[in-house]
Amino acid sequence: MKKKIFFGVIITAIISSVLTISGLCILLRLDSKSLLNLGRFVGAMNFIESHYVQEVEKDKLIDGAINGMVHSLGDPHSIYLEPKLYSQLKADTSGSFGGIGVYMGFKENGVFVLSVIPDSPGEKVGLMAGDSIIAVNSQPVSEIEPSEVALKIRGEVGSDVELLIRREGEEDKTYTIQREIIKVQTVSSKMIDDRLGYIRISNFSENTGAEFKTAVSNLEKQNMKGFILDLRQNPGGVITSCVEIAKEIVPAGTIVSVVQRDGQKEVFTSDLPQAKYPIVVLLDHNSASASELLSGALQDTKAALIVGEKSYGKGSVQTVIPMFQNDGLKLTIAKYYTPSGRSIDGTGIQPDVEVKLEKPIMIPREPDTNSAEDLQLQKAKELLTEQVNSGKILF
């Protein structure tokens, strides 16, 4: 009788364990292969803890494992954020932050400066769009995740950071830059003459939509009949601000579609009856992300002419996922598509009228609209004048 009770308890315990494990597997969506891989992971971690020549911290092993998983994706825009980096990233879209005032882009062959904020520490020492960052504080960028470079450049206000910069046609040079509080006003505007307006958007932050509306309103009061929208060296930013602006200038219909891996789609639309003004958009190869979305929507709906150079080609969506140790995960979760269904990821926006510059130029907050050196801007003025005179967009 005791044996029967004993075996009954054992069998009940086994069944309970199996059901518990099965329930966890269902909850965690683990199939047999995933369960086997989880066993491999735990086994490797236990072996390292027990036999490595020095004592190791379990948290450090977990951090390294997560970082390795993200790195294996081969996506420069996805990154594991340790607590310090996660804290810095959370300040990315705030009104001000400590840094040097540059925006960066990432491709297989390196980390590049996409744009430099006017009057920032980066501009003061002479950094330019197109510069390649080779090292941060003597650490080669090839040794760290690309998206981590921007976060490492930030630090305590008043402290210095050293960047080794490579610029085409020049020798590599080290710049020592003192970090400052970076306050970003993203939109500037002016009248070129008595009919033509000029609006520059340096990047898309939380306040950009409101700044753009104010700029347009001010130019309308000065009898604006059409405007140049300068998105050169614009690295992108907050998509909601981009959509807010698009609703003001993109005719009714789709602005952009965001498509996830499973096909789930979020579509942003405009209700604007028709374009109010002729618009010429300026792009260069440092125009990325949200600036490409806006120009792609204007191009597909024939609401603007695109002038300049093919854009950067960042058409993916990242989200930041908080984790459990004040850390986080920045992960690519979707791709952008223009109204005609184009994916710009890796391809960019091809201008309607291609104009290349003989050499890179720094685009200040309020550029000289009469500068003969800026061939792209002069071509935009010419085309906008034709459109204003004819009363229609010229394709």
Q: Determine contact, residues 41/68, Cβ cutoff 8 Å.
A: no
What's the pLDDT score for residue 265? 93
* Length in residues, the chain: 395
Integer CA distances (angstroms), 221 to 103, 147, 187, 224, 391, in order:
33, 42, 17, 7, 19
One-letter identity of residue 12: T
d(CA 245, CA 89): 25
Choosing from 225, 284, 311, 314, the catalytic residue is 314
What's the pLDDT score for residue 378? 94
What's the pLDDT score for residue 93? 47
Instruction: Tell me if residue 276 is catalytic.
Output: no
d(CA 52, CA 269): 57
What's the pLDDT score for residue 379? 95
Do the first three CATH levels of 96-183 and 187-390 match, i.e. the same topology?
no
Structure tokens at 74: 């081969």
Structure tokens at 112: 């590049």
Q: Which neighbouring-strand residues pair with 279? A: 227
Mean pLDDT, consecutive 10-residue stretches, the chain (395 aa), reads 54 53 54 74 85 88 89 87 76 62 78 84 91 93 79 85 92 94 85 94 91 96 96 90 96 95 93 92 93 96 96 90 86 93 93 87 70 89 92 61
What's the pLDDT score for residue 97? 61
Choosing from 300, 330, 374, 379, the catalytic residue is 300
* List of long-range contacts for 377-382, beta carbons under 8 Å, 24+ apart: 377/228, 377/230, 377/282, 379/307, 379/353, 379/355, 380/228, 380/280, 380/282, 380/307, 381/192, 381/196, 381/228
96-183: CATH topology is Pdz3 Domain (2.30.42)
Choosing from 202, 205, 241, 289, the catalytic residue is 289
Report residue 375: phi and psi, to 5°: -65, -30
What's the pLDDT score for residue 29? 60
Nearest-5° Cα angle at 287, 320 to 113: 75
Instruction: Tell me if residue 289 is catalytic.
Output: yes
What's the pLDDT score for residue 95? 44
Report residue 131: phi and psi, to 5°: -60, 140
Structure tokens at 251: 């005719």
Instruction: Tell me if residue 300 is catalytic.
Output: yes
One-letter identity of residue 286: N
| Domain ranges for the chain | 96-183, 187-390
**pTM (predicted TM-score):** 0.72
What's the pLDDT score for residue 273? 92
* DSSP state letter for 345: T
187-390 has CATH 3.40.50.720 classification: no
